[in-house]
Structure 1
């Protein structure tokens, strides 16, 4: 027997309906039988009037003849067509004899409105589907960033003993037609390349017959796992400034990935642009690379590329630009820095979450020197002013809040920074909490990382157990309400230049990012990236795994929408902002965005409860009031 009532009671999310509504649903469904191989609906046909739920059998969804989803008993489809009233974006085919329960659109939408858990379930499905349905270019970014390394043709590994002569290694490389060999020395694997042999043997006039391979090779071999994606390999190559990666399957090196195997889209490819930047001899050349990067980012955004990956892409290349610019600025001065220093990036740059609206958020810390040595201060003042001007030439606009190392407030010795951090924490008035919030995302882009670590350790020591300060800091998340009205419609600006729009950064992105930042501070999490912080907060039990995933999905969707609008503004020759017009969104995007804002609201309630913000703010208000009398 089909027994729909029992089926719905045992099938999530319909089991969340009341007893009465399950009976109502069961008595109002249609039942259809499809034989194996029969088409249920075609891609691009009329908008659907029913939600399909598989009672028995299996169905595949195909797009352009490629299978995009495999569904079985208990699964439902095609809610995207139903909610957005658009033609189905895929073809549904029964791959077994299949029985479907069909729920009419009117009934489904009513239950969706009445039951939050049902709504959350289909919202998450919508997020996944909206992301999948973004158009892809056959030569575009997603075609290779999401390609598993195991699908690539790798160069075979050639292993040689570290005691062998370079001459013997050359003969083996020639025989195997390879430009490298993997060198084993006391169970450690390194790599020797043609370039190593030229630079370290022939250029130094050494005899290859009497030079051991281990004395020329680079140790250890940098490797990546077979199941990682090509994008991860590109980032690893860029980070270590190398052209080859060992590839492991479990614990065994199975091949070598070379940059020549993957550089197909040179104007967008990270290793290509990174090499171009590293060789740049002027700010004009760097500015050209910067323009190429932004053109690529606009294209990737329009293709619907994962915004987390876009942030990492911008970050890797921005880091390279800043590193090269430090080198050129020092060369311009004509004198090496007199002591250890670190150029720090803050805010979204520090988190590796930049958007298309990026300004200069940076600072500088340098090693303590004797107080009478004024030449050090003078040097870094000169360096900072030149560096900020060079960033401006490249295309990085100045920070409106003057959070720039050319501002002496953001350029200090280590001891001076510690005094400043004390001042921020001990007197957490408005601007102090804002400054420290930005500073909490600090990351070294050039220089001595130990200086950054000293600052981070000191902040943890002073603030992580300071409940009053944490409450001050957390109270910032309540400054902005999500832009949803009483009837859950979008609240927008009524007048002015942004009439009909709302600030997605202030109303959604900031409360989420800042709340996660405060939790990370309390629990001494060194990661600055929001996604990484969420993973660590989840793994340590600060928030549940499911809530962390909801927050990560919500954040990803918010920055995807912001990037979409910013890319559109840039394409029209306008300056990108953080404002979006909800009327320009599709129905599915509006549905998802409203539920994303509900997740942000839930997070604000969580922080309000955890840090007792309502009570804290009331006490603080009364205290301030008492000072007036």
Structure 2
């Protein structure tokens, strides 16, 4: 009835395997039943021994008690632990009665080594395991997987003799700043690590002066050639349950490859990028750097990077570029600003939730001046025109609605901004509504933060004291219609350029952004990022912990789909949009998307009830 052979033939990526391989897998896999609510494995468990494939049912993966992934029939999990040979990074729980096919680790490792389709599929996901603590961006692993080991900066080798005492070895390791040493014992070479010393000597109460290096070293040394691919090195680490490999070049040990060296390689590339921005001497330099940043962002997205982190990555780099543009623009003018000022970024940039379809949404605030002193107004008029043109040259397209500091509507003194905000709040209609939705996520990217925070303080007080305006904002979020029909089918465009597609921004992203924003403004939450706002709302008891997790998961899923489809359009040479085709999604993704839209509707119902929107709708 379960027929694993037929099932694997119809399930990606196993459907790419030769028939004889599928037969071999089918005859060696195990079948296990889990009842609803039963735990399959827990976060921090010893390295897993199986790849789990869902034959029937559903599984949720949790990390730090947060839901991080929902899996359905045909999905697989456990590969992170298998490929990285690490403890399990999450807890897996059956959310309904579930049947799992369990493929033994040796078979799985052989398959990813021998078959490129499986290797590409699973190594793209392995990047979850190789991160910095609180990592800011996932590593472009497919690129690294095909990189020769010699391209990675290696730790230098330290050799000691097997007859040396451990106390002498420890002293040498400390002097060199290393956590390991190679041990020579005749013709044999082994390795001794900091962990070996702690576990085999200190923990057992032995005196390091009385123990020889060869007594606790591991023989033989596990080695790899400098011309081997990084992917082969990682498989070797996984196979032997180690974190270091000796690297030989023309027969000589030239260094040590550690898993942290892989992290260092990619992170230094990003650091160099940021340093290049700071050193840029012209707008042309910045334009070149920005084109590289955009390419990297597309690569990260196609590799399945966390959409929250991608948004932050794009925004952080954009911030650095804008800061450098300010410096170059002032230098270009040949005159310093006559007073303190600040550059504000608005909308998704202000929230650090950038997509690949972006334009200039910015504003300028400057210190109040005496009424007859027009020097600041004149200076910032010229500055703003030059600044906007420079961003255009770099690759930031103009805002179709003119929300740019070159537009005098978006360039004011603090006092003028306060009056403007008061007018928007007291007269919420037409263009004022659009302006509010863009402006109220503002964030200072350059200059006087005191001006920015004084304006924010006024906005929060004015809005939180105005229940009618809050209800108006809530009504805007509740008006969006999720693209689901009465029978839970997707509602798509019937004709035109986007036939068969729907707008995921209007149908899912904006209702969450605007709904969360109004709750945050009511409670004077200063944060602008939607994820951070959701967490703070939960912390303050405005929404339940359960609903907070659901909202985060829903928003992350929507952002991920949006970024993925935009990246695909860019790769095809098309202009990215906010439209997606539900038929291009897997069955599991379509199922999750429907659940996500249900969470959006739950938020909208909360807003209708909380703000009594029957009077506004």
Structure 1 residues 616, 312: closer, same or farther in 2, change over 3 A?
same
Q: Secondary structure at the match of 1:513?
A: helix
Match of residue 320 from structure 1 = 320
The Cα shift of 1:86 comes to: 3.6
Distance change >3 Å, CA 57–CA 489, structure 1 → 2: closer
Match of 2:381 in 1: 381
Equivalent in the alignment of 1:495: 495
Following superposition, the deviation at residue 144 of structure 1 comes to: 2.9
What CA distance in whole angstroms lies between the structure 2 residues aligned with 1:85 and 1:350?
Answer: 39
Is the 1:43–1:87 contact (alpha carbons within 8 Å) kept by the matching residues of 2?
Answer: no
Q: 2:486 and 2:266 mapped to 1: Cα distance?
A: 49
> For residue 238 of structure 2, what is the aligned residue in structure 1?
none
Q: What is the CA-CA distance between 1:616 and the residue it aligns to? A: 3.2
CA distance in 2 between partners of 1:508 and 1:616 (Å): 21
Equivalent residues of 1:463, 1:469 under 8 A apart? yes
1:5-24 pair list within 5 angstroms: none
Listed as ranges, the matches of 1:128-277 within 5 Å are 135-137=122-124, 143-145=130-132, 263-265=264-266, 269-277=269-277
In 1, Cα distance between the equivalents of 2:78 and 2:360?
Answer: 44
Q: Deviations over 1:11-33 (max 9, x none)?
A: xxxxxxxxxxxxxxxxxxxxxxx
Once the two structures are superposed, what CA deviation does each residue of 1:439-493 show, in whole Å capped at 9, x if it has no partner? 1111110000011111111112211121111111111112320000011010001
Classify the secondary structure of the residue corresponding to 1:412.
Answer: strand
The change in CA–CA distance for 1:388 and 1:68 in structure 2 (over 3 A counts) is farther
Q: Which residue of structure 2 lines up, in the alignment, with residue 462 of structure 1? A: 462
Gaps of 5+ in 1: 1-40, 94-99, 106-132, 156-174, 179-258, 618-629
Post-superposition shift, 1:348?
0.5
Q: Distance in 2 between matches of 1:467 and 1:55?
A: 44
Alpha carbons of structure 1 residues 416 and 51: separation in structure 2 relative to 1, 3 Å: farther
Once the two structures are superposed, residues 481-507 of structure 1 have per-residue CA deviations (whole angstroms, 9 ceiling, x without a partner) of 000001101000111111111110011
TM-score by length of 2: 0.64
Counterparts of 1:279 and 1:511, CA distance in 2: 40
The equivalent residue for 2:370 is 370
- Deviations 1:217-256 (Å, cap 9, x if unpaired)? xxxxxxxxxxxxxxxxxxxxxxxxxxxxxxxxxxxxxxxx
SS at 1:67 equivalent = coil
Residue 79 of structure 1 pairs with residue 66 of structure 2: no
- Name 1:169's counterpart in structure 2: none
Per-residue deviation, 1:67: 2.3
1:318 and 1:148 mapped to 2: Cα distance? 19
Gaps of 5+ in 2: 1-21, 61-69, 83-93, 100-119, 137-152, 156-173, 178-259
Structure 1-normalised TM-score? 0.63
Alpha carbons of structure 1 residues 147 and 372: separation in structure 2 relative to 1, 3 Å = closer
User: What residue number does 1:52 align with?
Assistant: 33
How far is the alpha carbon of 1:316 from its aligned partner? 1.0
Q: Is the 8 A contact 2:283 2:390 kept in 1?
A: yes
**Contact kept in structure 1, 2:492 and 2:499, CA below 8 Å:** yes
The 2-side partners of 1:295 and 1:530 are apart by: 25
- Which secondary structure does the structure 1 equivalent of 2:406 belong to? coil
- After superposition, the Cα gap between the structure-2 partners of 1:604 and 1:103, relative to the gap in structure 1 and judged at 3 Å, is closer
* Residues 76 and 261 of structure 1: CA distance in aligned 2, closer, same or farther (over 3 Å): closer
Report the secondary structure of 2:372's partner residue: coil
Secondary structure, counterpart of 2:512 in structure 1? helix
8 Å CA contact retained: 2:33, 2:98: no
CA distance in 2, matches of 1:521, 1:147: 28
Candidates 25, 39, 48, aligned match of 1:67: 48
SS of the aligned residue for 2:48 comes to strand
Whether the aligned pair in 2 keeps the contact of 1:51 and 1:103 (CA below 8 Å) is: no
The 3-state SS of whatever aligns with 1:358 is coil
Change (3 A) 1:583 1:536: same
Distance 2:368 2:499 in 1: 51
Equivalent in the alignment of 1:220? none
**1:263-303 C-alpha deviation (Å, 9 max, x unpaired):** 4137x833111101000011111111111111111111111
Whole-angstrom CA distance in 1 between matches of 2:49 and 2:338: 59
Equivalent-residue separation in structure 1 for 2:71 and 2:135 (angstroms): 33
Question: Do the aligned partners of 2:124 and 2:304 also contact (CA within 8 Å) in 1?
Answer: no
Could you tell me how far 1:371 is from its partner in structure 2? 1.6
Q: How many Å apart are 1:544 and its aligned residue? A: 0.6
**Shift, 1:430, TM fit:** 2.5
TM-superposed CA distance for 1:50, in Å, is: 9.3
| 3-state SS of 1:144 partner | coil
Q: Is the 8 A contact 1:501 1:582 kept in 2?
A: yes
Number of equivalenced pairs: 433
1:291 aligns with 2:270: no
* Residue 146 (structure 1) shift: 6.1
Give RMSD over aligned pairs: 3.9
Per-residue Cα deviation, 1:293-327 (whole angstroms, up to 9, x for no partner): 11111111111111111111111111000000100
Over 3 Å counting, the alpha-carbon distance change for 1:481 and 1:423 in structure 2 is same
Counterpart mapping for 1:219-618 below 5 A: 263-265=264-266, 269-617=269-617
- Partner SS, residue 269 of structure 1: helix
- State the 1:526 CA deviation: 0.2
* Alpha carbons 2:35, 2:97 under 8 Å: kept: no
CA distance in 2, matches of 1:614, 1:307: 35
Q: Post-superposition shift, 1:134?
A: 6.8
Q: How many angstroms apart in 1 are the aligned matches of 2:525 and 2:388? A: 30
